[in-house]
Structure 1
Amino acid sequence: MKLFIYFSFLSSIVLSVSSVSARPEIVDAILPEVKQQGQNGYLNCSVINLNPSSTVLQWVKQTTPSGTPLLISSNEKIHVNDVVEGHSKYYVKKTVYNNKEQYQLEIRALTENDAGSYTCMIRLANQNYLQWPKKLGLLTVLSKQMRELRYPYCLNVNPASGSLDQIKVYNEYDLNKQDDQR
């Protein structure tokens, strides 16, 4: 009987240590978002093992390649006071399903300035910034001129800035020519 109690006690310690020590991680890619000016943009960050007492999920925007990043949110708290149409420019919605938590960053009333790289990161207490789990999401905002194109087009997006580097517009002749070559 004493042996059974000892093993029960030992297994409960092992289980509690393993559940506490599970490292938080970002489990899914943040899909790029392409939206038109004036629309709302959404970036999703799915995480597991987030311990509220020692971790914080942050959304950060890289404003310039070498500049200081803009801290948008910590968990669901917004740090940027920009207001559009009577509402905060940024909003974070947290949803929980199974063992995942999803933090969706909503950017309202998009302008070209909103285009760029957004990083979802998990700030870990007593850890160096370089060791924090992070994933990058890209937001591309199409200008009014892009909406007026009548033909299919291909966009090349610069991953560092989220801006459009090249636009290839296919007219009817180009599309027919491609079909003939197949």
Structure 2
Amino acid sequence: MPSRHFALAITGASGAVYGVRLAEELLRGGHRVSLTVSAAGFAVLGEECGLRWEGEPERVRAALDAYFEGLPGRIAYHPVDDLFSPIASGSAAPDAMIVAPCSMGTLSRIACGNSGNLLERAADVMLKEGRPLVLVPRETPLNAIHLENMLKLSRLGVRMIPAMPGFYHHPTTVEEMVDFVVGKVLDAIGVEHRLFKRWGSE
């Protein structure tokens, strides 16, 4: 399959590992990734994954290059306040965008068309251009506002893939549970993978 371009956003919801693993798999497949991370997303990356990537853009880019070194794809970092980034324009819209994990605040602002930063603007671009947008909500319990916002976006064609691992493949590690969710995201954007055993397969 030819190389494709994906926008990936990491917010401050718990579950930063989903975004990191997704980036790894996309790069392993030789794809191009445009990454943006919210301020809270950087904090969660440090707290949950031990990844201290925050700082000036050049420092972040160096950290990303070191972490993903050896993978054939290309990753580009775009600061969340950079509204001049290519992914902020419909004329340079990526093939698909994924927000993993997606906080309820981010989901709400996307649902309202409130494009106050690059992450939200890039998601709005995907909606207006009719490109695939996938959100990985990570919150529990969900209140009526959360559910109404998800329904609103779902009716617009946004794919909702909650961070809900399956257990029919008998996972034995946290990594296997993470891979199940990441695999579901890859299915939604048409990227082949072998992250989990499919039901009925040998």
Same fold (TM over 0.5): no
Q: What's the TM-score once normalised by structure 2's chain length?
A: 0.22
Counting strand residues as a fraction of each chain, which structure ranks higher? 1
Structure richer in helix, relative to its length: 2
TM-score in terms of structure 1 length: 0.24
